[in-house]
């Protein structure tokens, strides 16, 4: 029964094809086929770019989470510790 209905639908569709106007054919091909495919491809690319940018923003946020004055203070503290270690070892620094 399903096969018969499918065959009947195909017959009706094949009979309709020669009667389609150029505008109807363009609508079927462009709007119903190409635009759907193109829309999906564009959406996929936008999602990929969005995810890439989000990842990069997170990376930069982590990298620059500590303000420069705090980093400078940490460097000065660590440099002072290194100087103390070098003095204990008898080395001359600077």
pLDDT digits (tens, 9 = 90+) for 45-77: 999 999 999 999 999 999 999 999 999 999 999
CA dist 92 and 94 (Å) reads 7
Tell me the backbone φ, ψ of residue 66, rounded to 5 degrees: -90, 125
Polymer length in residues for the chain: 94
What pLDDT was estimated at residue 32?
Answer: 82
**b/e burial code for range 39-71 (CB count within 10 A of at least 16 → b):** eeeeeeeeeeeeeeeeeeeeeeeeeeeeeeeee
Q: How confident is the model at residue 7 (pLDDT cuts 50, 70, 90)?
A: very high
Q: Is the pTM of this model over 0.85?
A: no
């Amino acid at each position: 029964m399903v096969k018969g209905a499918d065959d009947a639908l195909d017959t009706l569709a094949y009979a309709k094809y020669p009667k389609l106007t150029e505008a109807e054919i363009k609508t079927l091909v462009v709007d119903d086929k190409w635009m759907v495919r193109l829309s999906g491809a564009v959406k996929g690319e936008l999602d990929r770019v969005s995810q890439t940018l989000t990842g990069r923003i997170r990376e930069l946020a982590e990298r620059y989470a500590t303000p420069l004055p705090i980093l400078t203070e940490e460097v000065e503290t660590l440099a002072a510790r290194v100087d103390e270690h070098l003095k204990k070892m008898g080395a001359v620094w600077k």
